[in-house]
Amino acid sequence: MRACRGCVPDGCVGASPLSVCAVVDTPAPTVTPIVTIDVEDWRPQIRPADTERHARELEAGAVLVLPRLAFRFEPDEARFLNVRWSDGKAKNISFDGASIRGATGPAQDLAALARMIGRFAADATALVTALLPRYAPWLARARTSYRPHGAAGRALSWRKDDTRLHVDAFPSRPMCGQRILRVFCNVNPFGQDRVWRVGEPFEAMARRLLPKLRPMIPGEAACLSALHVTRGRRSEYDHMMLGLHDCAKSDLDYQRNSPQREVRFAPGTTWICYSDQVMHAAAAGQYMLEQTVQLPPDALYEPRSSPLAILERISGRPLLAA
């Protein structure tokens, strides 16, 4: 929310005329905004003014939904829409362009499955480049995942339970301010929606939950790195992001009563969000493809809206210092 002169973020004070506030003050959304984009091609032609608008919506914490953008299967690939290709141990099947993990089956079939996932990786990357062209030189593609299992019903600890509202944060992989941009596509062949709950905007969540987090202990980052718990040193930013992830998931009152809404993604729908910023919970659905892209803060159109900038503003200090 932008406060006008004479106002504080929570409303007007003193003798400030309310009519002035109404003109210059745009109310902050109470839950994550959903923005629909009507494209049906993974490599769409988008006008520069529209790419700029989509980037600012995304970076402000919206979910961009493309209801007519379906992943196209080759004729012999429909057979992969079956949980029997999962090895039953890993949560997802994933592919990094060279090796496939979490899958089981004859080598020839796994090679075909890898080609399918690789084609989604190329499509998703092309889409991000077309929608958000300023990101193109910075894109670092992480593993692509195919999720044949249902979103709900797996026996997991509360910390791994993604049916609870959370922002994504990696315990073993410090991001040090790098963003987590994710492209999802519901490929369910039985007409089943992917159902999310989305929560309040990042800043509102952070202001509510940060006071409950324990501070980082001196020497903690070095210790975790030396013990190979983390790959590299965990920054204070990563400590806070993990703390917010855990704090939200472990707080059942927050899960039930914080601002939230249900969003349904029909089969054949693609959606994009910064999952380190959007409070999300996967409530239901089965069969989804997902591509993660990492981006440095310098790549952003509006760095001030990033979780790093927000957490530094709230805490009043840099969070990436060694």
Binders in 72-111 for Fe ion, by CB under 5 A? none
**Whole-angstrom Cα distance, residue 224 to residue 96?**
26
What is the nearest approach in angstroms of Fe ion to the Cβ of residue 281?
Answer: 8
Number of residues that bind Fe ion (CB under 5 A): 1
Q: How far is CA 163 from the centre of its chain?
A: 14
- CA nearest 65: which of 52, 81, 54, 50? 54
- Measured from the CB atom, the residue of 113 and 145 that comes closer to Fe ion is 145
Residue type, 249: K
What is the nearest approach in angstroms of Fe ion to the Cβ of residue 91?
Answer: 11
Applying CB under 5 A, the span of 58-66, 96-104, 164-172, 257-265 interacting with Fe ion comes to 164-172
- Measured from the CB atom, the residue of 80 and 265 that comes closer to Fe ion is 265
Site string for Fe ion, 122-161 (x = CB under 5 A): ----------------------------------------
- Measured from the CB atom, the residue of 168 and 238 that comes closer to Fe ion is 168
**Whole-angstrom Cα distance, residue 180 to residue 277?**
8
Site for Fe ion (CB under 5 A): which residue of 59, 168, 238, 246? 168
Torsion of the alpha carbons at 114, 115, 117 and 118, rounded to the nearest 10: 110
Contact between residue 280 and residue 199 where contact means Cβ atoms under 8 Å apart? yes
What is the nearest approach in angstroms of Fe ion to the Cβ of residue 162?
Answer: 5
- Measured from the CB atom, the residue of 168 and 236 that comes closer to Fe ion is 168
Contact between residue 274 and residue 215 where contact means Cβ atoms under 8 Å apart? no
Measured in residues, the chain has a length of: 322
Binding region for Fe ion (CB under 5 A): 168
